[in-house]
Every structure is written in C-alpha cells, then in structure tokens.
C-alpha cells in the first residue's frame, strides 16, 4: 500500500472513508471515540491543503432515509474538534454534492450524508461506486471498523482511483493488530466475552497455537457449558455452535493452553437491572433464570490469570455491563488489564461494546484501543479484509 505522505494532496479533492458510526441519542453524539480516532488523518489533509470529503455510514437504515440516523450531529462534533466549520451535505452523491465540493477551497472539510441511505452501498453496486469516485481525485480509507465489509465505499470505489492509500488510523490498526497476530510476547493472554461465540470462533482457532491462556466470559461462555451438558436456563446460546465449542476445548487441551471458563455466575430472573439476582456455581443454574455476569470467585480467578501477561487481547464484556448490577465482572477484568499495561504489558482492546465499557468505567491505560469490532476479529483470525485488499498496489 502507498504511504499517504508520499501523495501530493494540495488542491486535490481527497475522498476519505471514515468510520463515524457513533451512538446518537436525541440528535446528540454520546461517544466521539471514533471521530477523534480519525483526527490525525483529517488534520494532516487540512494542513497540506486538500479539499477533504468525508463519507461514512451510521447504523442500519436498510437503504432508506431515516432522520435519526443522519450524520449531521457528527458534523457539529467534528467542527468543534478541528476548530473550523464542517460543511454538511444532505446526500452522498449527486449534483448538489458536486456543487458544494466545487465551491470549496483548500483546507475545507465536507461531511456527506449517511452512505447507507442508499441500498447500493451495501450491495457494492458498481454504478454507485463510480458516482462516489467522481467526487474525488484521491481515495483514502481510514475506516478500519468497516474494512471487513465489501461495500461500495470501502471496496468498489477504490478501483476507480490511481492514487489511493490508507489513512493514519488504518495503518496504526494494521501495525498494532499485526503485533498481536504475528509476534506476541509471552505469556500471551486472550480474553473473550460478549454475547455470541460465532463472531469469535476464528480468533479462538487462530490463537490456539499462539496463546498461553484463553479466558472466556460473557454470554458466549454458556455455549461451552451447554456443550458439557450443563444446564444454562434462559441464558443466551447459539445451538448451531455447540460442536464448535467442544472442538475448541479439545484443541485447547491438546495445545496445553490454560482454558478458563466461569466457575460461578451472577444469575437473574429477568433481563433488567432491578430484577431478582443471585450468585450460583456454574452447575447450579436454575431453569427460568439467566446468567448476566461472571461471579466474584471467577472474577478473582480471571484477575489472577491476567497477572504477569506480556501480551493481552481483550474483546467483549464479561456481562451486561450496561446494567449497573451486572457490571462488576467486566470492571474487575478491565482494571486487571490496565494494571498489567502499567507494568509493561502490550494490550489491545477491540470491539464497540468493549470500547463503550472502557469509557463507562474510565479505564484508559491500554496500549491500543481498536476501533474495529468485527474487523479486528477477522484480521486476527488471519482473514483478508476487502477494505485493505482494495488499497494494495497490484
């Protein structure tokens, strides 16, 4: 891939794919982490005289215009962050968009409306890709969070540009995650949580001959319990991944990996914060109840297992951290990872939910916080990401 610094951008229209898929409530951005992550690229382009055209998706509008999924609130946040007005355009293709760009000067920043208001974006439609390409002279992809998607703005558009490159965020993600994937210092501890095991299978399989410890929490732990014939009550499981769970445990044993599952669970009557709750042993789950956090004994075991790690990868909370009564397990693990980072460990935390819980719990001592959830998991699983592949010079 080309180095962005080796491309002359002055006076050029630079079309930049960013990941501004941020939480918005009542027209107000709730977490600007992903916006801040793109600032090095945006500020570099402004400083070097480019006309900066930013494009992103937001949420799942399913090809329809939805006011609550407009990127307009993000334009206001970005304006404050870069101390200059960001021009917001109410579409991402068409004559009006071209008119705004043509009237712009060097150093101006334009934010286009939600790409996914057009169904063609997710379909990687060739005509839509071409229309996007007509807006710029140079293409930069700085949206690692969507690099695993073969969409028009991340893949299809790239073939229309002779000059294209990754932004600083995308390059940083590749460098940091490559260190985890290809050359981790040992002991190497992998911590996986969250709701679904299906999204984490690739990472687990790829790390079975690299990790020293594999720690499993969150809803995905119940798949492993179910595969062992343990009652899981109303807890979340993926029935079609039971055999995969058995396979992971067999291979972990064969590779002599320390494989840790919860030994006690915080269970609840209902999926809400103020419901009846109690801690039980992993094999004492009651029918009609569900697990919403790891228990205190498990928290201490996991915390102890993290100590002494030289490399740590963490993706997914240990419980339903959004609810105060089911947050403790995730908080203890987060602080343990932070403590080891302070002692010199290289730590990478990935995934939207994990980033949200870091912000909520004010855990900030992490070597690298990845902006990509699915993208980081696929990259670490050894898969080729279309958004990166599209930037490679043939």
CA distance 273 to 147: 35
Residue 102 has pLDDT above 90, yes or no: yes
Catalytic residue list? 34, 196, 352, 374
How high is the pLDDT of residue 310? 98
Neighbouring residues of 108: CB distance < 8 A, sequence distance ≥ 6: 51, 52, 87
Mean pLDDT of 359-386: 87
CA distance 323 to 273: 5
Neighbouring residues of 177: CB distance < 8 A, sequence distance ≥ 6: 348, 350, 370, 376, 379, 380
Mean pLDDT of 1-20: 97
Output phi, psi for 40, to 5 deg.
-55, -40
pLDDT, one tens digit per residue, over 111-158 is 999 999 999 999 999 999 999 999 999 999 999 999 999 999 999 999
Output phi, psi for 376, to 5 deg.
-65, -40
Please state, rounded to an integer, the average pLDDT across all residues of the chain: 94
How high is the pLDDT of residue 16? 98
- The proportion of the chain whose per-residue pLDDT surpasses 70, expressed as a percent, equals 99
Note the CATH number of domain 184-380.
3.40.50.1260
How high is the pLDDT of residue 361? 77
Residue 99 has pLDDT above 80, yes or no: yes
Residue of 222, 176, 238, 183 whose CA lies nearest to 375: 176
State the first-to-last Cα distance of the chain, in angstroms, to the nearest integer: 9
Residue with tokens 């693990």, as numbered in its chain: 333
pTM of this structure:
0.89
Note the CATH number of domain 4-171.
3.40.50.1260
Residue with tokens 């740590």, as numbered in its chain: 312
pLDDT, one tens digit per residue, over 270-297 is 999 999 999 999 999 999 999 999 999 9
Residue 374 has pLDDT above 90, yes or no: no
Q: For CATH 3.40.50.1260, list the domain ranges present in the chain.
A: 4-171, 184-380
Residue of 120, 76, 128 whose CA lies nearest to 97: 128
pLDDT, one tens digit per residue, over 200-243 is 999 999 999 899 999 999 999 999 999 999 999 999 899 999 99
Residue 352 has pLDDT above 70, yes or no: no
Question: Which residue blocks in the chain are alpha helix, DSSP H?
Answer: 33-37, 39-47, 72-82, 95-102, 126-133, 168-182, 201-207, 221-227, 242-254, 296-306, 328-342, 352-361, 374-380, 386-389
pLDDT, one tens digit per residue, over 30-89 is 889 899 999 999 999 999 999 999 999 999 999 999 999 999 999 999 999 999 999 999
- The proportion of the chain whose per-residue pLDDT surpasses 90, expressed as a percent, equals 89
């Amino acid at each position: 891939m080309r180095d962005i610094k080796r491309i002359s951008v002055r006076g050029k229209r630079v079309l930049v794919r960013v990941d501004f898929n941020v939480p918005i409530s009542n027209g107000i951005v709730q977490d600007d982490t992903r916006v801040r992550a793109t600032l090095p690229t945006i500020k570099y382009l402004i400083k070097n005289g480019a006309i900066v055209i930013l494009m992103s998706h937001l949420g799942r509008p399913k090809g329809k215009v939805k006011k609550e999924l407009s990127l307009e609130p993000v334009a206001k946040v970005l304006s404050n962050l870069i101390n200059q007005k960001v021009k917001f355009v109410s579409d991402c293709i068409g004559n009006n968009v071209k008119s705004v760009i043509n009237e712009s000067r060097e150093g101006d920043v334009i934010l286009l409306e939600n790409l996914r208001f057009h169904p063609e974006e997710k379909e990687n439609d060739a005509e839509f890709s071409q229309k996007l390409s007509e807006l710029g002279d140079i293409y930069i992809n700085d949206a690692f969070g969507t690099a695993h998607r073969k969409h028009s703005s991340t893949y299809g558009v790239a073939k229309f540009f002779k000059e294209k490159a990754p932004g600083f965020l995308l390059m940083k993600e590749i460098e940091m995650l490559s260190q985890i994937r290809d050359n981790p210092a040992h002991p190497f501890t992998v911590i996986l949580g969250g709701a679904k095991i299906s999204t984490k299978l690739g990472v687990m399989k790829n790390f079975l001959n690299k990790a020293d410890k594999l720690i499993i929490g969150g809803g995905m732990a119940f798949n492993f319990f179910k595969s062992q014939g343990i009652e899981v009550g109303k807890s979340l499981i993926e029935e079609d991944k039971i055999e995969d769970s058995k396979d992971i445990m067999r291979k972990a044993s064969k590779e002599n990996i320390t494989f840790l599952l919860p030994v006690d669970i915080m269970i609840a009557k209902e999926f809400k914060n103020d419901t009846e709750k109690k801690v039980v042993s992993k094999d004492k789950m009651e029918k009609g109840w569900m697990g919403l956090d790891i228990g205190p004994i498990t928290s201490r075991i996991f915390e102890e297992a993290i100590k002494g790690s030289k490399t740590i990868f963490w993706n997914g909370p240990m419980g339903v951290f959004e609810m105060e009564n089911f947050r403790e397990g995730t908080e203890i693990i987060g602080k343990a990872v932070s403590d080891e980072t302070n002692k010199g460990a290289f730590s990478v935390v990935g995934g939207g939910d994990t980033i949200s819980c870091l912000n909520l719990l004010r855990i900030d001592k992490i070597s690298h916080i990845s902006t990509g959830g699915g993208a980081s998991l696929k990259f670490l699983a050894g898969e080729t990401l279309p958004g990166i592949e599209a930037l490679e010079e043939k």
